[in-house]
């Protein structure tokens, strides 16, 4: 297995401080002396000597204390592949690697064995437990499988792990390994309560433990049940009993026996539907919730926790079954549609949902729809029928009936299972209840542990929020940067987002979806034309001091009426499903699907036919005015073509526009250079067209130069 030195090749003095380590003397044959120091780290602070069962030297593990921390490096005796000379190399033992303490093990064939993690800990355990032979494997807790454990066949083995998670993993791996080679018994020590993280036998020795105290700790070691590579050991450590099946197979069969159903989503993700009490929950296979369910049921059945590797292997088996043999189902977050019915996840502990059809709605105790949940999701109020949507009016501060109608329309649109969804942009002065309004609306469609949030820092944060929440509510914005404006546009009307998949070089994580969005802040937030084109804009009035209410009284009142408001919104959704097939719009505005859905819901809301569309079109016209007022280029164009049409180059157009604005505007950052003018004009084309200004940006002059020309005109003037 290993090539030990012959004759006088025992030049090292064993374990101890570096001062006790001297270079090896030359030995017979081609062997050479060990180096005095590491080429980079210098002389070691501690040396651990590995020998075989006959005592012949195999190599060293050396510790170096560097400014950056401690470093361990092996030094092994090898035969050069070309010269066949025996030489020392700064590299690990070839697999299977020798155990530290083989010479002591061979000298005491009847002694029990204690296995610890690390050579220093093994030396300490040898002092504290003189009746045992203390061993360890080289290269730390993650290299257990590369060590040669066959020397422990027939031995009584106790594992003393470090008091931390890696130590527990090491103990489990060693338990499997020594049971696999036929150890007579295997038990694991439980570190005492209250010890510091990583505490081990070396710490016990440094803390002044006595031999009796160490012996008592080992005597209380629990027999290992079921190390899981080839089988599950019996509770008595395998003495006289046949091992059961691997823990991996126990976990898989247990999950199936308890009624877990493994399946895959349309996106190719593995899920499990698990019975919990009198309901069924749906969780991704890799979610903490499913892992905890597995562990809890395994403990209830076997009286112990499954091994980490066994649990991982079981998940891999179930994942493969889900992806290749499992049924495929759509997965929804909060709102979904199956077989013509809209489903709304109530988010309660019983996993109930509301089924809405063209004939009404009902709460279903065991819905057939697969909803997924995030840990931030909170429960909706249980809806009640009998009231209209006007119950909401006294909880929101809006200027007019038309504004309230648009607010209610946004809520009904947010309960549609598919978008696009308009962005509700709310502004107003300080104290006009913008945040409260946002919280009220969110409570009615998608309660969340953090109902309103600050603006995300990048696309990734925005999509993480969208993956975990149905509604996106951004609070107290001072402005919207260009990247966020573009991202919100994609999120409202549909568009894909991608990022590099974690722990891969070429993997891509993709998400494609739509979400209802609320933005609030003091300034006008929809200044960019493409964002304004997707918005319902509301400006809240100031609240007189004598009309303010305390938070406690407000929310108590809302709690009492919330079930009826939600019931009224569900009535509207039912009306939309009933009337949608024969509802038509005389004019189709931007976000026409949303407008059609709410128009179909008008009867359920108690509105006059066409009343919503009139309010929506008026609001869109106001959005156009806001966009033009916010952009100095748009205002300058309107002033330029008020008297005459324009045709000329970009430079000529910019010069003409500069005569319509102040010097301060011309010198500001918002004023573009000639080479950036075309991009600005493209963004303004739609809102300008809606007020009668038509632009053609692709003209060419008729002469040989074919110069690009811009044409801006008002056809109505002709």
- In this prediction, residue 227 carries a pLDDT of 43
- Are 342 and 445 in contact by the 8 Å Cβ rule? The answer is no
pLDDT for residue 302 is more than 90 = no
pLDDT for residue 105 is more than 70 = yes
How many angstroms separate the CA atoms of 717 and 389, rounded?
A: 45
- In this prediction, residue 237 carries a pLDDT of 39
- In this prediction, residue 154 carries a pLDDT of 87
Least trusted range by pLDDT, from 198-212, 228-242, 487-501: 228-242
- In this prediction, residue 240 carries a pLDDT of 40
pLDDT band at 508 (very low <50, low <70, confident <90, very high): low
- In this prediction, residue 364 carries a pLDDT of 95
- In this prediction, residue 82 carries a pLDDT of 58
Query: Helical H runs in 388-445?
Result: 401-414, 434-445
> Which residue, 126, 93, 86, 128, is CA-closest to 108?
126
Rounded to an integer, the average pLDDT of 566-589 is: 93
pLDDT for residue 28 is more than 70 = no
Rounded to an integer, the average pLDDT of 438-457 is: 94
Highest mean pLDDT: which range of 71-75, 251-255, 567-571, 646-650: 567-571
pLDDT band at 526 (very low <50, low <70, confident <90, very high): confident
pLDDT for residue 141 is more than 80 = no
Backbone angles phi, psi at 103, to 5 degrees: -65, -40
pLDDT digits (tens, 9 = 90+) for 645-678: 888 888 888 888 888 888 888 888 888 888 888 8
- In this prediction, residue 27 carries a pLDDT of 41
- In this prediction, residue 519 carries a pLDDT of 96
pLDDT band at 153 (very low <50, low <70, confident <90, very high): confident
Rounded to an integer, the average pLDDT of 240-269 is: 82
How many angstroms separate the CA atoms of 57 and 384, rounded?
A: 82
- The DSSP 8-state label assigned to residue 86 in this structure reads E
pLDDT for residue 139 is more than 90 = no
pLDDT for residue 497 is more than 80 = no
Continuous segment of H or E residues that includes residue 298: helix 288-302
How many angstroms separate the CA atoms of 152 and 157, rounded?
A: 8
Rounded to an integer, the average pLDDT of 4-14 is: 35
pLDDT for residue 239 is more than 60 = no
Determine how β-strand 113-116 pairs with β-strand 156-160: parallel
| Residue 433 falls in which region: left (phi positive, over 0), alpha (psi -120 to 50) or beta | left
- In this prediction, residue 292 carries a pLDDT of 93
Query: Helical H runs in 470-540?
Result: 482-493, 529-532
pLDDT band at 299 (very low <50, low <70, confident <90, very high): confident
| Sheet containing 261-265: order of strands | 279-284, 270-276, 261-265, 327-329
Rounded to an integer, the average pLDDT of 314-332 is: 92
Least trusted range by pLDDT, from 4-13, 141-150, 355-364, 531-540: 4-13
- In this prediction, residue 84 carries a pLDDT of 56
- In this prediction, residue 46 carries a pLDDT of 83
pLDDT for residue 507 is more than 90 = no
Cis peptide before 420 (omega within 30 of 0): yes
If one compares 574 and 147, the residue with the highest pLDDT of the two is 574
- In this prediction, residue 3 carries a pLDDT of 37
- In this prediction, residue 717 carries a pLDDT of 57
- In this prediction, residue 641 carries a pLDDT of 86
């Amino acid at each position: 297995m290993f090539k030990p030195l012959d004759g006088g090749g025992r030049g090292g003095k064993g374990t101890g401080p570096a001062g006790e380590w001297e270079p090896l003397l030359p030995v017979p044959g081609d062997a050479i002396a060990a180096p005095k120091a590491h080429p980079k780290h210098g002389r070691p602070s501690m040396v651990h000597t590995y020998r075989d069962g006959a005592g012949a030297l195999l190599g060293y593990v050396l510790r170096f204390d560097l400014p950056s921390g401690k470093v361990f490096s092996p030094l092994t005796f090898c035969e050069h592949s070309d010269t066949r000379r025996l030489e020392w190399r700064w590299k690990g033992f070839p697999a299977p690697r020798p155990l530290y303490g083989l010479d002591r093990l061979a000298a005491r064939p009847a002694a029990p064995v204690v296995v610890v993690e690390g050579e220093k800990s093994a030396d300490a355990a040898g002092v504290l437990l003189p009746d045992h032979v203390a061993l360890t494997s080289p290269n730390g807790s993650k290299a257990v499988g590369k060590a040669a454990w066959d020397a422990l066949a027939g031995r009584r083995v106790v594992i003393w792990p470090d008091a931390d998670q890696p130590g527990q993993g090491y103990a489990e791996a060693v338990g499997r390994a020594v049971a696999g080679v036929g150890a007579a018994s295997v038990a694991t020590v439980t570190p005492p309560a209250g010890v510091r993280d990583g505490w081990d036998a070396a710490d016990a020795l440094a803390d002044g433990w006595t031999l009796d105290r160490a012996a008592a700790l080992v005597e209380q070691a629990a027999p290992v049940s079921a190390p899981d590579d080839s089988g599950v050991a019996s509770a008595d450590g395998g003495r006289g009993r046949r091992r059961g099946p691997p823990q991996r197979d126990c976990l898989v069969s247990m999950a199936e026996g308890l009624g877990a159903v493994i399946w895959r989503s349309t996106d190719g993700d593995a899920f499990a539907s698990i019975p919990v009490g009198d309901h069924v929950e749906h969780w991704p296979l890799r979610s903490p919730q499913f892992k905890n369910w597995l562990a809890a049921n395994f403990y209830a059945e076997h009286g112990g926790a499954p091994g980490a590797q066994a649990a991982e292997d079981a998940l891999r088996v179930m994942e493969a079954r889900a992806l290749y043999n499992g049924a495929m189902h759509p997965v929804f977050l909060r709102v979904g549609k199956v077989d013509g019915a809209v489903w709304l996840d109530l988010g309660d502990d019983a996993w109930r949902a509301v089924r809405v059809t063209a004939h009404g709605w009902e709460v279903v105790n065991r819905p057939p729809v697969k909803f997924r949940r995030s840990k931030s999701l909170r429960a909706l109020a249980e809806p009640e029928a009998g009231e209209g949507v006007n119950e909401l009016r006294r909880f929101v501060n809006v200027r007019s009936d038309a504004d309230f109608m648009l607010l209610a329309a946004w809520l009904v649109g947010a309960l549609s299972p598919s978008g696009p969804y308009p962005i509700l942009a709310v502004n107003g002065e300080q104290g006009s209840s913008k945040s409260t309004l946002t919280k009220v609306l969110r409570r009615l469609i998608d309660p969340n542990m953090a109902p309103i949030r600050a603006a995300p820092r990048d696309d990734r944060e925005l999509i993480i929020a969208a993956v975990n929440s149905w509604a996106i509510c951004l609070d107290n914005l001072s402005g919207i940067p260009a990247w966020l404006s573009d991202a919100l546009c994609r999120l409202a009307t549909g568009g894909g987002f991608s990022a590099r998949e974690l722990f891969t070089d070429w993997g891509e994580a993709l998400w494609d979806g739509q979400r209802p969005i609320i933005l609030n802040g003091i300034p006008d937030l929809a200044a960019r034309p493409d964002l304004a084109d997707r918005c319902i804009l509301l400006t809240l009035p100031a609240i007189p001091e004598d009309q303010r209410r305390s938070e406690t009284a407000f929310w108590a009142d809302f709690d009492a009426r919330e079930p009826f408001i939600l019931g009224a919104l569900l009535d509207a959704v039912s009306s939309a499903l009933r009337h949608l097939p024969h509802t038509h719009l005389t004019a189709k505005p931007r976000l026409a699907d949303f407008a059609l859905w709410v128009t179909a819901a008008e009867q359920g809301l108690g509105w006059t036919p066409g009343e919503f569309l009139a309010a929506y079109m008026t609001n869109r016209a106001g959005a156009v005015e806001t966009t033009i007022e916010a952009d100095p280029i748009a205002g300058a164009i309107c002033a330029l073509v008020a008297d005459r049409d324009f045709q000329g180059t970009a430079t000529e157009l910019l010069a003409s526009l500069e005569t319509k604005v102040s010097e301060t505007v011309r010198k500001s950052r918002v004023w573009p250079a000639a080479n950036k003018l075309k991009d600005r004009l493209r963004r303004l084309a739609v809102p300008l067209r809606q007020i009668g200004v038509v632009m053609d940006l692709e003209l060419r002059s008729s002469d040989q130069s074919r110069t690009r020309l811009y044409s801006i005109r008002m056809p109505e003037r002709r």
